[in-house]
């Protein structure tokens, strides 16, 4: 027996899931995530929308003779903050994508 999904119910579920996803994305975008490097000498802050909003650099790490090290520390701190943001997004949004019951439509 082939059970056909109720298309109205399916559309209703899709709309609900879409709204939940939009709400979760908006909430995530309001959050900030920090990443550090050099034992905390460089700190980067990004939003849940992966937007870099702040860099803090300790004066102790600024060496005019070794600019490359400072550049590497900044990149490492930004990567760390982005990874924290991406992990939160995956945790927050990952479960929503699997919430649509297709009623056997795909299987």
Digitized pLDDT (tens) for each residue of the chain, 107 residues in all: 556 668 888 888 889 888 888 888 888 889 999 999 999 999 999 999 889 999 999 999 999 999 999 999 999 999 999 999 999 888 887 766 555 444 444 44
Q: What is the per-residue pLDDT for 72?
A: 97
Fold entry, domain 7-95: Ybab; Chain: A; (3.30.1310)
Q: What is the per-residue pLDDT for 1?
A: 52
Residue 35: half-sphere exposure toward Cβ, Cα within 13 Å:
22
* pTM, 2 dp: 0.71
- If 0-12 CB within 10 Å is exposed, 13-18 middle and 19+ buried, where does residue 32 land? middle
The C-alpha atoms of residue 13 and residue 101 are separated, in whole angstroms, by 8
> Which token pair is 62?
């600024």
Q: What is the per-residue pLDDT for 75?
A: 97
């Amino acid at each position: 027996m082939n059970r056909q999904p109720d298309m109205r119910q399916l559309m209703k579920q899709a709309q609900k899931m879409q709204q939940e996803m939009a709400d979760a994305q908006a909430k995530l975008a309001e959050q900030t995530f920090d990443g550090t490097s050099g034992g905390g000498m460089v700190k980067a802050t990004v939003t849940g929308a992966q937007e870099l909003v702040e860099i803090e650099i300790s004066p102790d790490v600024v060496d005019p003779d070794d600019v490359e090290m400072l550049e590497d520390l900044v990149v490492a701190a930004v990567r760390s903050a982005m990874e924290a943001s991406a992990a939160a997004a995956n945790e927050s949004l990952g479960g929503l994508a699997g919430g649509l019951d297709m009623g056997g439509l795909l299987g």
